Structure 1
Amino acid sequence: MRLTTDDEEAIRAEFRKAVNMSAAEIKGWLTTDESKKVGMTRRGETESVGRQSARRIIAILDKTVPEFEDVDYAHMRKVVGYCRRHLAQRPAGETRDTRWRWSLMNWGHDPLKRD
């Protein structure tokens, strides 16, 4: 089923709210040991699902609206859902050096970043 223009605009707006890191920030984050320590890695793969997602997010951030494809919108929805679920599970106390934060950052969202 093809998305309407309104659907596409809504998905892009939700994605922009969820992903508060730039492509450059995500690229830099992916070089850290902390990024590599978190997330689920599927059997037979060497990189976590979140780190794979980060690479797709970077590609999406580097595109312009006319270049988006259905798979991009599907991934944007996945990212929004992941961020919402994990933000709702915020642990008590300081979160700066937590796996919870690091996992979110692999999905393009730094909960400590101020807009």
Structure 2
Amino acid sequence: MSAPDDDELWQDFHRVVNMTSRELADWLRTRDAGEDTEAMPDQAGQPTGRQVLHVLGKRHVDLTDDDRRIMRKVVDRVRAERREDLEPVAGQANWRHRLMSMGHDPLKPA
């Protein structure tokens, strides 16, 4: 990936991922907490959510090809389910929760 493409992906990713790493980590732990069991904190949530957390903890210059793949996947999935302007919008709870598990809260201003 060329430097301009990499910069654009970095900006797009941080635009669609509007939850902080702390908010996302808390959300993933909450989603995985069950009545009888709870996942280990570093294993909470779906793999995509954990990968997003991993990327949020990195500097731009430290990105790997795997990081770029997950960033592109998240950008594409959020845009497929949202309008381009990412204006706050309510929807079905399961839709919001699915997006939040990738780091995007559709009720939070972009």
Identify the TM-score tier after normalising by the shorter chain. Answer: 0.7 to 0.9
From 12, 16, 21, give the equivalent of 1:14. 12
Q: Give a deviation string over 1:25-60, Cα, whole Å, max 9, x none.
A: 00000122xx34xxxxxxxxxx9xx72111000010
Task: Tell me if the contact between 2:90 and 2:107 (Cα under 8 Å) persists in the aligned partners.
Answer: no
Matched residue SS, 1:24:
helix
Please list every run of 5 or more consecutive structure 1 residues that lacks an aligned counterpart in the other structure: 37-46
**How many percent of aligned residue pairs carry the same amino acid?**
33
Out of 71, 80, 84, the position equivalent to 1:76 is: 71
1:100 aligned residue? 95
The root-mean-square deviation of aligned C-alpha atoms, in Å, is 2.2
The amino acid across from 1:30 in the alignment is: L
Q: Tell me the TM-score normalized by structure 2.
A: 0.77
Q: Which residue does 2:22 correspond to in 1?
A: 24
- Give every structure 1 segment of 4 or more consecutive aligned residues whose post-TM-superposition deviation is greater than 4 Å: none
